[in-house]
Amino acid sequence: MIQNLLKLIDAHDTWRAKTLNLIPSENITSKYVRNALSSDLGHRYSLWEPAEVPVGADNFYSGTKFIDEIYGIGVELSNKLFSAEYSDLRALSGHIADLAALISLTKPGDIIYSLDTRYGGYPGLMPYGLPKMLSLRVRSIPYNVEEANIDIESLEEEIRRYGGRLIILGPSFIPFINPIREICRLAREYGLYFVYDGSHVLGLIAGRAYPNPLKEGADAVVGSTHKTFPGPQGGLIATSKNVMDNFKRNIVMRIVDNPHYNRIAALAISMAEMIEYGETYASQVVRNARRLAKALYEFGVPVLYSEKKFTETHQVILGIKDGYNLLVRRLEKANIIVDYGKRLGTCEITRLGFVENEMDKIAELIFRVYNGEKTEGIKKEVVELVSDRKVEYTFD
Ligand X SMILES: Cc1ncc(COP(=O)(O)O)c(C=O)c1O
**Taking the CB of residue 56, how many other CB atoms lie within 10 A of it?**
6
In the complex, what is the shortest distance from the CB of residue 154 to ligand X, in angstroms, rounded to a whole number?
21
As measured in angstroms, the least distance from the Cβ of 357 to ligand X is: 30
Residue 95 or 165 having the CB closest to ligand X: 95
Could you tell me the smallest distance in angstroms from the CB atom of residue 161 to ligand X? Answer: 26
Distance CA 379, CA 382 (A): 5
Min dist CB 41 to ligand X, Å, is: 20
- Provide the minimum distance between the beta carbon of 339 and ligand X in the complex, in angstroms, as a whole number: 10
CB of 252 to ligand X, least distance (A): 19
- State which residue, 46 or 224, has the beta carbon closest to ligand X: 224
β-pair type (315-317, 343-345): antiparallel
Nearer to ligand X by Cβ, of 122 and 354: the residue is 122
- Spell out the residues 6+ positions from residue 392 whose beta carbon is closer than 8 angstroms to its own: 277, 281, 350, 351, 352, 353
β-bridge partners, 196: 169, 221
Q: How many CA atoms lie within 13 A of 211 on its CB side?
A: 16
* Nearest residue to ligand X on Cβ basis: 94
Q: How far apart are CA 279 and CA 306, in angstroms?
A: 26
**CB closer to ligand X, 33 vs 334:** 33
* Adjacent-strand bridge partners of 166: 112, 193
Least CB distance to ligand X at residue 7 (A): 27
171 vs 259 by CB, closer to ligand X? 171
Choose between 99 and 155: whose C-beta lies nearer to ligand X: 99
What value, to the nearest 5°, has the Cα angle with vertex 72 and ends 50 and 250? 30
Nearer to ligand X by C-beta: 199 or 394? 199
30: helix, coil or strand?
Answer: coil
Residues that bind ligand X (CB under 6 A): 25, 93-95, 98, 122, 124, 170-172, 197, 199-200, 224, 235
Q: DSSP letters along 126-159, please?
A: STTSHHHHTTPEEEEPPEETTTTEE-HHHHHHHH
Three-state DSSP at 303 gives: strand
Write down the least CB distance from residue 101 to ligand X, Å. 11
Which residue number, 19 or 224, has a Cβ lying nearer to ligand X? 224
Count Cβ atoms below 10 Å from residue 378 Cβ, excluding itself: 21
CB distance 344 to 292 below 8 Å: yes
